[in-house]
Structure 1
Amino acid sequence: MVEYLSEQVIPLINQAARLYHRLIIIAGPAGAGKTTTLQDIQQRTGALLINVNLELSRQLLELNGRQRTLQLPRLLSEIINAAGGEVVLLDNIELLFDPALQQDPLRLLQGLSRNKTLVVAWNGAVHNGYLTYAQSGHPEYRRYPSRDLLIVSPEKVELR
């Protein structure tokens, strides 16, 4: 499965470089091989792999709640820009969905992907034209139209 996903993502990196939002989402449930796929892509391309939860939580630790909400986009941008290179792999993005941080994770990632190609492990699914995160009713639940998103999942590859 990992090789299959990697083989789908690597050619999309060049395609994404020509798009307005240079964002590739690897969508799948926990245990679907997203992290292993990112590690394989890292070995093949040399792109830096960032554990967003770990790096961002270090930066947010000394801030109060309001400061965290306001500073998160800038801090994540700094983390990504410090990575160097044109392609950055992002894993463990769950912190971005924390309701207390009041962020729109997809829009944030799209904005950050204007200057670098981002390949992101997304713990969710694509169904009936929508990209989802978490289950309906969960505080972190998000649902986005998948149109105009570059999405790879264990089931299929989509450019909507």
Structure 2
Amino acid sequence: MIDKLDRLVEDISGLNSKLVLLIGPPRSGKSHLLTQLAARRKVRVLSVGTTLGRELLTVPSTRRHLQAADLLKGQVDAFARDGLSLMDNIELLFDRTLQLNPLDLLKRHAHARRVIAVWPGGLRENRLSYATTGHPECKDYGLDGLVPFEIH
């Protein structure tokens, strides 16, 4: 599976949006696969929840939604190497108080470099989902501008 993902990382170089989402059920090995890719490519994995969360704690809560996207950009830039950024634990991006559109944010980063991210939701009938219907953070997206990489 790592060889297939590694080839895909090369293949997406010419695309306008270079976003690959690792999608699979919990405990399917998404994070492990990303770690393997990181070791192979000598790139650090950005744990968004830990790193961005730590920085957001230094920002007054009334200003976090104004600074979250810029703080994330700085972190992505710091962790990226050779035009590649690897992201895991992105659940914080769905926090309603931050007023972010997580998928659009990932796509914006994927215009400048290849972005491989672990998707914390599911894929069903060519639709990405995060959380269940009725949950306050429930999101539903189409697949435009990204490449899904399913892990079963």
Same fold by TM-score greater than 0.5: yes
Does 1:51 find its partner at 2:53?
A: no
Match in the other structure for 1:94? 91
Structure 2 residue 60 is matched with structure 1 residue 64: yes
| Kept after mapping to 1: 8 A contact 2:17/2:145 | no
1:12 aligns with 2:8: yes
Q: Is the 8 A contact 1:65 1:101 kept in 2?
A: no
Q: TM-score by structure 2 length?
A: 0.93
**1:110 — aligned with what?**
107
Q: CA deviation at 1:59?
A: 1.0
Aligned counterpart, 2:137: 140
**Residues 30 and 56 from structure 1, CA distance in 2 versus in 1: closer, same or farther, beyond 3 angstroms?**
same
> C-alpha displacement at 1:84, in angstroms?
3.9
Whole-Å Cα distance in 2 between the matches of residues 133 and 7 of structure 1? 28
Q: Which residue of 2 aligns with 1:28?
A: 24
Sort the Cα spacing of 1:41 and 1:65 in 2 relative to 1 into closer, same or farther, 3 A.
same
- Using CA pairs below 8 Å that are at least 6 residues apart, which structure has the higher relative contact order? 2
Q: Distance in 1 between matches of 2:53 and 2:145?
A: 30
Q: How many residues align?
A: 151
Counterpart Cα distance in 2 of 1:53 and 1:101:
13
Query: What displacement does 1:15 show?
Result: 2.0
Report the TM-score when normalising by structure 1.
0.88
Q: Gaps (5+ residues) in structure 1?
A: 156-160
Deviation of the 1:92 alpha carbon? 0.4
CA contact (8 A) 2:128 2:140 kept: yes
Match among 142, 146, 149 for residue 149 of structure 1: 146
Mark the runs of 5 or more structure 2 residues left unpaired by the alignment: none
Counterpart Cα distance in 1 of 2:107 and 2:144: 13
Q: CA deviation at 1:65?
A: 2.8
AA of the residue aligned to 1:123: P
CA offsets 1:22-77 (integer angstroms, 9 cap, x no match): 11100122211111111111111112211111110111112123311111111110
Could you tell me how far 1:147 is from its partner in structure 2? 3.4
Between the aligned partners of 1:9 and 1:62, the Cα distance in structure 2 is 36
Separation in structure 2 between the aligned mates of residue 99 and residue 8 of structure 1, nearest angstrom: 35
- Report how far residue 87 of structure 1 moved: 0.9
3-state SS of 1:88 partner: strand
